[in-house]
Amino acid sequence: MSWDDLDDLTALDADPEVMRFLGAPRTRAEVVELMPGRLSPSEDAIGLGFWCGIEAGAEVEPRDRGRFAGWWCLSLEGPGLAELGYRLHRHAWGRGLAVEGSAALLEHGFATVGLERIIATTMTVNAGSRGVMRRLGMRHTATEVLTWADPLPDADQGEVSYEITRAEWAAAR
């Protein structure tokens, strides 16, 4: 991810369907505020951060760099522990891209960065995100109902947590 992606990232977060389980759609100014945190992970988060996915191929729009599909991230949560995240444009949904990009990040996290464990969380009702975690071989570890100042619809059904260890990832390859 870089500042060159700002237009695409703004369009992504402006879509209420994309943000359905994440919060209110964002303005460009709000996305700009998020960029420094995304582009400059802490010093101990070596090898982690945010990546954008660009589709190539004959059927995509005639743009030099292909069509922006969305982003994936690994954020440091503790020693040897990172959280996986992803957000795709509607046009990219339902084609296995979230799993494809996430699988590449699991490989990067375990094989290159040397992580021990990768976790992910989502709203209980976010079936698409849970489908990605299931397809990656992640285990459901907890369901928690949290208290929010301004809860999203179905927040009362809670948040689910998933994880996969390096040993589990290696055994499933």
- Would you tell me which residues interact with ligand COA (CB under 6 A)? 18, 21-22, 70, 86-88, 93-99, 122, 126-129, 131-132, 135
- Ramachandran class of 111: left when φ > 0, alpha when ψ lies in -120 to 50, beta otherwise: alpha
140 token code pair: 């459901």
The amino acid present at 79, given as its one-letter code, is P
| Residue whose beta carbon is closest to ligand COA | 131
Q: Which residues, at least 6 apart from 63, have a Cβ–Cβ distance to it below 8 Å? A: none
- Smallest separation, CB 42 to ligand COA (Å): 22
| Residue number with CB closer to ligand COA (46 or 143) | 143
10 token code pair: 């703004």
- Smallest separation, CB 73 to ligand COA (Å): 11
- Smallest separation, CB 35 to ligand COA (Å): 18
Cα–Cα dist 47/131, whole Å: 26
| Residue number with CB closer to ligand COA (142 or 167) | 142
Q: How far apart are the first and last CA of the chain?
A: 28
- Smallest separation, CB 133 to ligand COA (Å): 9
Tell me the residue ranges of DSSP E strands in the chain: 49-55, 67-78, 81-88, 117-123, 139-144, 159-165
CB 51, CB 72: distance < 8 Å: yes
| Residue number with CB closer to ligand COA (46 or 60) | 60
| Residue number with CB closer to ligand COA (48 or 102) | 102
| Residue number with CB closer to ligand COA (76 or 138) | 138
- Smallest separation, CB 68 to ligand COA (Å): 13
